[in-house]
Amino acid sequence: MTDNTTDTTILQQQVQIEAAITRLFAAEDEGLKYALTAAKEAGLPQIAISPMQGKFLQVLAAACNAHKILEIGALAGYSGIWLARALPPKGRLITLEVNPDHANVVRNSFARAGVADRAEVRVGKALDLLPQLQSEAPFDLVFIDADKPPYPQYLDWALRLSRPGSIIVADNCVRSGGAFQEPQDAGMAGIFEYDKRIASDPRLVSLVLPMDDNYTDGFAISVVRY
Ligand code: SAH
Ligand code: DHB
Ligand code: MG
């Protein structure tokens, strides 16, 4: 057997394992499927998190007893639906989205998924909206998934708007390993700096976990220490 055949077999195994886990733990209902279809039909990029990542966000929300969740970067509302469904009846999700067309899709998706009572999209640049959220803090869980260059600034805001025991998650913190090399562009520089900071910030306990795109990308997870 050549090395290539071995690689192919391992890749096939990974795909099958992920499919089996997704079937058992993270099956999508009509609401989640609608958000993906709506995104496609509106010509939005197909860069939502995976079902396993959605379920993982729900596990993390349960772990920190999340009543208030903040998301930065909504797209079509797919990750927002997973997050909103992890909330108790009086819980609240606020998601920030710079593109008004995306925000319209999000509102539709939230209504179709039955979470419009708990989930709200605010339109604007995240760095403009975040300072206005201080009266609504602390957030129990913050999910960062917008433009990549300001990831370190989003981390500063997540720390400001959270409490001991809050969980801060950021998507796209592996990037085929590019996140751990000398960055070649502003986006990678943002992620490189983000990973470096959460790895050594004494206020946080953190890990990056490859989980998406056949284990070539994934979340950075940080718990704010007591
Ligand atoms: N979390 C979504 C995917 C988000 S894609 C999901 O998994 O379903 C990134 C989104 O961030 C896009 O919709 C983009 O318009 C938005 N975005 C980019 N820059 C932003 C900014 N500065 N402030 C707020 N949103 C931004
Ligand atoms: C891109 C952004 C994302 O948030 C993602 O999960 C995948 C790709 C991008 O901008 O290319
Ligand atoms: Mg992402």
Predicted confidence (pLDDT) per residue in 102-120, tens digit: 999 999 999 999 999 999 9
Q: Which two tokens stand for residue 5?
A: 């055949």
**Spacing, Cα 44 to ligand 3 middle (Å):** 13
The residues that bridge with 123 in the sheet, in sequence order, are 97
Single-letter code of the amino acid located at 158: A
Asked whether 25 and 74 are in contact (CB, 8 A), the reply is no
Residues with CB under 5 A from ligand 3 (ion): 145, 171-172
Ligand 2 binding pocket includes 217 (Cβ within 6 Å): no
Percent of the chain with pLDDT over 70: 99
Per-residue pLDDT of 53-87, as tens digits, reads 999 999 999 999 999 999 999 999 999 999 999 99
What average pLDDT does this structure show over 37-60? Answer: 98
Residue nearest ligand 2's atom 8 by CA: 47
The pLDDT score that the predictor gives to residue 95 is: 99
Picking from 219, 165, 195, the residue whose alpha carbon sits closest to that of residue 52 is 219
* Ligand closest to the CA atom of residue 73: 1
The pLDDT score that the predictor gives to residue 3 is: 67
C-alpha to C-alpha distance for 174 and 190, rounded to whole angstroms: 12
What average pLDDT does this structure show over 82-94? Answer: 98
- For 225, other C-beta atoms within 10 Å of its C-beta total 11
SS3 51: helix
C-alpha to C-alpha distance for 171 and 187, rounded to whole angstroms: 13
Q: Using a CB cutoff of 8 Å and minimum separation of 24, what contacts does 110-117 make? A: 110/77, 110/80, 110/81, 110/84, 112/30, 112/31, 112/34, 112/35, 113/29, 113/31, 113/32, 113/34, 113/35, 113/77, 113/81, 113/84, 113/85, 114/31, 115/31, 115/80, 115/81, 115/84, 115/85
**Ligand 1 pocket, residues with Cβ under 6 angstroms:** 47-49, 73-75, 78-79, 96-99, 102, 125-126, 145-147
Asked whether 217 and 176 are in contact (CB, 8 A), the reply is yes
pTM of the model: 0.97
The 141-144 sheet, strands edge to edge: 119-123, 92-97, 68-72, 141-144, 167-170, 217-224, 204-212
Local confidence band at 5 (pLDDT 50, 70, 90 cut-offs):
confident
**Spacing, Cα 44 to ligand 2 middle (Å):** 12
Q: Which two tokens stand for residue 114?
A: 């039955």
**Spacing, Cα 35 to ligand 2 middle (Å):** 17
**Spacing, Cα 143 to ligand 3 middle (Å):** 10
Question: What's the chain's average pLDDT?
Answer: 97
